[in-house]
Amino acid sequence: MQFTFAHNNLNVLDLEKSLAFYKEALGLVEVRRHENDAFTLVYLGDGRTAHLLELTWLKDRKEPYNLGENEFHLAFHVDDYEAAHAKHAQMGCICYENPGMGIYFIADPDGYWLEIVPAK
């Protein structure tokens, strides 16, 4: 028996705002969508790997999600770390930097942290 990654899920409060953020900040694009009366699922891909990010929008949800201490994150490799850092600084979404480790984090519109790691 063998398991492989399929996707990670994040619940979002404003689907259109989140889709715009993930496209601008990370270049993720919609791969597929599932909609019904209660929710919409949008799967985003990077165009290079099979791994997807599933955004779930619960249509009746009005209050922000409680992320606790936000002790989880997704990580992304980037081929041009300096250009990515400049772009994210311009967007105002960098929430934490660790120069000693050579990484930084950005926050999406719902406050989820996304780690940016230089490709090695």
The pLDDT tens digits of the residues spanning 65-99 come to 999 888 889 999 999 999 999 999 999 999 999 99
Q: Which token pair is 107?
A: 């926050």
> Is residue 47 in some structural domain?
yes
Contact 42, 30 (CB under 8 A): yes
The pLDDT tens digits of the residues spanning 6-15 come to 999 999 999 9
CA 75 – CA 87 distance, rounded (Å): 17
CATH of the domain at 32: 3.10.180.10
> Is residue 37 in some structural domain?
yes
Inform me whether the pLDDT recorded for 2 exceeds 90. Answer: no
Q: Which pLDDT score is estimated for 107?
A: 97
Domain span at residue 27 reads 7-60+73-118
In this prediction the pTM is 0.93
> Is residue 68 in some structural domain?
no
> Is residue 13 in some structural domain?
yes
Domains held by the chain: number: 1
Residues 93-115 have a mean pLDDT of 97
Inform me whether the pLDDT recorded for 31 exceeds 90. Answer: yes
Using the CB atoms, write b or e for 14-26: b if 16+ within 10 Å.
ebeebbebbeebb
